[in-house]
Structure 1
Amino acid sequence: MNWTTFIKNYQSYLRIERGLSKNTIDNYSFDVDRLCLFLEQNQIQVSPLKITEETIQQFIYSVSKQVNARSQARIISGLKSFFNYLVFEDYRSDNPLELIETPKTGRKLPDTLSVAEIDTLINAIDLSSNEGERNRAMLETLYGCGLRVSELVNLKISDLFFDEGFLKVTGKGNKQRFVPIGHLTQKYIQLYKETIRTHIAVKKGFEDTLFLNRRGSQLTRAMIFTIIKDLATKINLNKTISPHTLRHSFATHLLENGADLRSIQLMLGHESITTTEIYVHLDRRFLTVVMNTYHPRKD
């Protein structure tokens, strides 16, 4: 079997046995595809069963000139997963990346927005257009519920449980969770549904998709990025932001207002509390407030 066949089998394994989403599978596959491109460009003819640690090291050295340490670490992790699969299926007896160290990346804390900045961002939306009402509902949902962008674009009308005050969200690995939704966010979603979405000619297969483009299809993740970046430019916001910034701001503002990490972990859909601890940065002022509020020797 050649690289293409092994990659297809690997993708099937990730989808069927590990239950990963298409986006996650695409990311894993991209790392292996990048290795294949390197082999092709350097005229190295070797199968995934025979490739050695030395060849992998050459590839990683080449990659290190093009991407930062965090991206290198992700690529190494993706390749380790592929070769672990080959070992698991008894195609290989060893993983050529077993002794290859992942570069130290440190803890990168994402940008966050203040409540005032989020208000300014959302208020900059042009509500005179149909897309404006939709965009306001989407940004309110990203911030109000702390969703990932992929979770937002895949949100279904059948996932809305407004009477109970929850959204059913399908996250990484197709794992589902219920996330609380506030009355304000409900109001803007309902407004979009009743005044804009009802007048869109919905394409077949997207009848249950909540947020639609003007052609009646599901929005792309790239479109959400573009909407947010255009708004940031419009208000002269001197920060590099993305849909994930609103998710991080959701978690940070909850924490600053007294929410516990375990509750935030459940709402964000993190498997490990460690991820939440890295994701939510604790500023010193907040830690001082916690200390002075809860410690028995505070006085």
Structure 2
Amino acid sequence: MTTNWSPYLKNYTDYLKLERSMSDHTISSYLHDLKNLMKFLTSNEIDVSPLTISDEIVQQFIYESSKFVNPRTQARSISGLRNFFEYLIFDKKRKDNPTDLLESPKIGRKLPDFLSLQEIDQIISQIDLSTIEGERNKVMIETLYSCGLRVSELITLQISDLFFEEGFVRVIGKGNKQRFVPISEATIRLINNYLNHVRNSFVIQKGYEDTLFLNRRGKGISRNMIFMITKDLTQKAGIKKNISPHTFRHSFATHLLENGADLRAIQQMLGHESITTTEIYMHLDKTFLKDVVEKYHPRK
């Protein structure tokens, strides 16, 4: 029923990968909602292509799916479909976007959990440093936090990206965009110790000679392994918050802001394209914001 969608999905996938430089994980998220739409068409015996589907059918799909998902998931679904049809317009396959009349549900901005310095120390203290994997895990988590990296940026970090004399690490972020992030002396010492005494314990496979963090088979570490490591350590530390590797990035930004760092400087270090993304970290104790005004306002 929906086999005529396949060529368009393939071209869209190529566009996201080659033109937009998106990761496989991000592309998979974009395609997820399109596949749900195709399932809806098949189950309802609606025979339309991406070029002929009407706004009424798309609205019906969103209405039916809204019975089973929360507003945030529904908003993401609408956004994913809208991007696909915008691509078809860009590719001159359609003249209109059947999602134009859809209204995304109002959702509150979700504030991320973040860790205190004490909680980060608690998590790191659970690492078994008697193994080379444990030594590696400590350096990974310290780097994740102290540089405010995304998981994808951590696992693709190369030895050639380390500019320790200058005090920076080169990071390749979303959309293949490059940025330089300051790195602390303490983290530099940890990474150097890992390079000199731990990493050479792995049998490094061909193609991974420059990859900084390796798994026990001498290849690059997967996203899932980072998630499993942080989840295991968090449970052992007895921390009840909803913690993921991204939490260390949130904590990095929060701690910088708490200590008076400029929001635009944090934006550059995190690699956020828009300052509004960085503004989510303004969830701090109001007494901190009051202190900032009292300290810096010209008419205090």
Compute the RMSD of aligned alpha carbons: 1.5
Q: Secondary structure at the match of 2:180?
A: strand
**Structure 1 stretch 179-188 or stretch 198-207: which is displaced more?**
198-207
Relative to the length of structure 2, the TM-score reads: 0.95
Q: Distance in 1 between matches of 2:176 and 2:24?
A: 9
2:250 is aligned to 248
1:215 is aligned to 217
Q: Secondary structure at the match of 1:2?
A: helix
Q: Deviations over 1:226-251 (max 9, x none)?
A: 11111111011011100111100000
1:50 is aligned to 52
Q: Secondary structure at the match of 1:168?
A: strand
**Structure 1 stretch 49-58 or stretch 285-294: which is displaced more?**
49-58
Work out whether residues 144 and 151 of structure 2, in 8 Å CA contact, stay in contact via their aligned partners in 1.
yes
2:236 is aligned to 234
**Structure 1 stretch 155-164 or stretch 200-209: which is displaced more?**
200-209
1:266 is aligned to 268
Q: Deviations over 1:92-111 (max 9, x none)?
A: 12110011011111111000
Q: Secondary structure at the match of 1:169?
A: strand
Work out whether residues 53 and 96 of structure 1, in 8 Å CA contact, stay in contact via their aligned partners in 2.
yes
1:103 is aligned to 105
**Structure 1 stretch 138-147 or stretch 182-191: which is displaced more?**
182-191
Q: Distance in 2 between matches of 1:206 and 1:32?
A: 35
Structure 1 residue ranges (4+ consecutive) displaced by more than 4 angstroms after TM superposition: none
Which of 137, 144, 147 matches 2:146?
144
Q: Secondary structure at the match of 2:179?
A: strand
Relative to the length of structure 1, the TM-score reads: 0.95
2:167 is aligned to 165
2:28 maps to 1:26: yes
1:176 is aligned to 178
Deviation at 1:66, TM superposition (A): 3.2
Deviation at 1:260, TM superposition (A): 0.5
Unaligned 5+ segments in structure 2 are none
Q: Distance in 2 between matches of 1:192 and 1:17?
A: 36
Deviation at 1:280, TM superposition (A): 4.1
Work out whether residues 19 and 174 of structure 1, in 8 Å CA contact, stay in contact via their aligned partners in 2.
yes
Q: Distance in 2 between matches of 1:222 and 1:66?
A: 27
Q: Distance in 1 between matches of 2:175 and 2:275?
A: 18
Q: Distance in 1 between matches of 2:36 and 2:175?
A: 23
Q: Distance in 2 between matches of 1:178 and 1:200?
A: 28
Percent identity, aligned pairs only? 62
Unaligned 5+ segments in structure 1 are none
Deviation at 1:20, TM superposition (A): 2.9
Q: Distance in 2 between matches of 1:41 and 1:246?
A: 42
Question: Counterpart of 1:93 in structure 2: which amino acid?
Answer: K
Q: Secondary structure at the match of 2:295?
A: helix
Work out whether residues 21 and 174 of structure 1, in 8 Å CA contact, stay in contact via their aligned partners in 2.
no
Q: Secondary structure at the match of 1:167?
A: strand
Deviation at 1:142, TM superposition (A): 0.9
CA distance 1:190–1:52, shift in 2 (3 Å) = same
Work out whether residues 203 and 217 of structure 2, in 8 Å CA contact, stay in contact via their aligned partners in 1.
yes
CA distance 1:107–1:259, shift in 2 (3 Å) = same
CA distance 1:46–1:279, shift in 2 (3 Å) = farther
CA distance 1:219–1:40, shift in 2 (3 Å) = farther
2:10 is aligned to 8
Work out whether residues 261 and 277 of structure 1, in 8 Å CA contact, stay in contact via their aligned partners in 2.
yes
2:287 maps to 1:295: no
Work out whether residues 132 and 201 of structure 2, in 8 Å CA contact, stay in contact via their aligned partners in 1.
no
Q: Distance in 1 between matches of 2:239 and 2:153?
A: 25
Q: Distance in 1 between matches of 2:92 and 2:260?
A: 50
Q: Distance in 1 between matches of 2:224 and 2:40?
A: 27
Q: Distance in 2 between matches of 1:160 and 1:67?
A: 43
Q: Distance in 2 between matches of 1:240 and 1:259?
A: 26
**Structure 1 stretch 204-213 or stretch 224-233: which is displaced more?**
204-213
1:123 is aligned to 125
Which of 111, 115, 130 matches 1:113?
115
1:60 is aligned to 62
Question: Counterpart of 2:150 in structure 1: which amino acid?
Answer: R
Deviation at 1:78, TM superposition (A): 1.2
Work out whether residues 3 and 47 of structure 1, in 8 Å CA contact, stay in contact via their aligned partners in 2.
yes
Q: Deviations over 1:134-178 (max 9, x none)?
A: 110110011100001111111111111111111110111111100
CA distance 1:150–1:36, shift in 2 (3 Å) = same
1:196 is aligned to 198
